[in-house]
Amino acid sequence: MNIGIIGLGLMGGSLAKALKKYFIAKKIYGYARSEKSKKEIEELNLVDELVDIKTLKEKCDLIILAIPVDNIISVLPELEDINKNTTIMDLGSTKEFIIENIPASIRKNFIAAHPMTGTEKSGPKAAIDDLYEGKTVVLCNLEDNENLHVNRAFRIFQEIGMRIVVMDANEHDIHACYMSHLPHAISFSLANTVMNSEDPKSIIALAAGGFKDMSRVAKSSPDMWTDIFKQNKKNLLDSMDEFAAQMKKVRDMIEEDNYSDMKEWMKKANSLHEIL
């Protein structure tokens, strides 16, 4: 089949690489807005041909939206006249808000997917080999899709080596919040805590593995993560309240020299890695 990808940064570009590696597509079309991105996509040979959205709709059996979550919603009206046999699939990090905004005319075509993978980098040059292999992809609310489109999604993800989990969109957004959205908020907060200190350069000069690991995702795209935080606002606020309660708990234990309870609190945290 012919596959079109709107957005050829980390997620879309890496998917294009995987589709080529496993010979899944007869032809891969791409769409990008900026001339800089177009030039990089062509230099990296990520797709067979860059075209406009009208051509994507005419040529492709599957159109993949690998763009920020607010942009996914804004592009949907342009796809309302899609052929009933053309599959549309997004790769956004939130699902419920996107699903609520899918026009009824293309709801059966639209597969809501979230590959649980990524890095802090963005743009076509961020595309890497094997980003998807061995990772999990969540597919949401498939009961609203026709089998043709569900089968295509399963085929694509299985052939690039992903594990597939089917989940309700609301449930997905809660889980994704704890596994991804809250950690990003914490990382941005940690980075800003250091940047707001009197001498951030001296602090960073001492940075070791722990700080680098926790602050790495603070390099992520502010545009992309502002949209994600906005779309998953309620779940993110709830998780922040729970995190704040844990920070207060450890603060109280330190303030009260209650180190025996603190040790047990840390041991409970250690046990998380028994189920990861």
- Indicate the domain borders of the chain: 2-167, 172-274
pTM score, whole prediction: 0.89
Average confidence score pLDDT of the chain: 94
Question: What's the pLDDT at 128?
Answer: 96
Share of the chain above pLDDT 70, in %: 97
Cβ atoms of residues 165 and 138 within 8 Å: yes
Joined tokens for residue 15 = 């998917």
Question: What's the pLDDT at 211?
Answer: 79
Question: What's the pLDDT at 27?
Answer: 97
Asked if residue 155 has pLDDT above 70, the reply is yes
Q: Which residues contact 6 (CB under 8 A, 6 or more apart)?
A: 12, 30, 31, 53, 56, 63, 64, 65, 66, 67, 75
Tell me whether strands 136-140 and 110-115 are parallel, antiparallel or unpaired.
Answer: antiparallel
Question: What's the pLDDT at 268?
Answer: 95
Computed on alpha carbons and rounded to an integer, the radius of gyration of the chain in Å comes to: 21
Share of the chain above pLDDT 90, in %: 86
∠ CA 155-3-173 to the nearest 5 degrees?
60
Question: What's the pLDDT at 214?
Answer: 81
Joined tokens for residue 136 = 């999990």
Integer Cα distance of 236 and 230 in angstroms? 9
Q: Which residues does residue 3 pair with via DSSP β-bridges, in sequence order?
A: 28, 62
Question: What's the pLDDT at 252?
Answer: 97
Question: What's the pLDDT at 202?
Answer: 73
Give the model confidence (pLDDT) of 27-79 as tens digits.
Answer: 999 999 999 999 999 999 999 999 999 999 999 999 999 999 999 999 999 99
Cβ atoms of residues 75 and 6 within 8 Å: yes
- Domain 172-274 part of CATH 3.90.105.10: no
Question: What's the pLDDT at 208?
Answer: 66
Joined tokens for residue 151 = 């089968």
Asked if residue 253 has pLDDT above 90, the reply is yes
The pLDDT of 172-180, averaged and rounded, is 95
Lowest mean pLDDT among 20-29, 173-182, 203-212: 203-212
Question: What's the pLDDT at 249?
Answer: 97
Give the model confidence (pLDDT) of 90-125 as tens digits.
Answer: 999 999 999 999 999 999 999 999 999 988 899 999
CATH class of 2-167: alpha beta
Coil, strand or helix: which one is 89? strand
Burial class (CB in 10 A: 0-12, 13-18, 19+), 121: middle
Question: What's the pLDDT at 195?
Answer: 86
The pLDDT of 15-23, averaged and rounded, is 96
Query: 84 vs 107, 145, 192, CA distance in Å?
Result: 10, 11, 48
Question: Which has the closest alpha carbon to 31: 62, 54, 58, 11?
Answer: 54
Asked if residue 203 has pLDDT above 90, the reply is no
> Which own/partner pairs from 130-134 qualify as long-range (CB within 8 Å, at least 24 positions apart)?
130/18, 131/10, 131/11, 131/14, 131/15, 131/17, 131/18, 132/14, 132/15, 132/18, 132/157, 132/160, 132/161, 132/162, 133/18, 133/160, 133/161, 133/162, 134/161, 134/162, 134/163
Q: What's the DSSP call for residue 48?
A: S
Burial class (CB in 10 A: 0-12, 13-18, 19+), 40: buried
Question: What's the pLDDT at 207?
Answer: 66
Buried b (16+ CB within 10 A) or exposed e, 232-246: beebbeebbeebeee
Asked if residue 8 has pLDDT above 80, the reply is yes
Give the model confidence (pLDDT) of 207-222 as tens digits.
Answer: 666 778 888 889 999 9
Question: What's the pLDDT at 106?
Answer: 97
Joined tokens for residue 158 = 């299985």
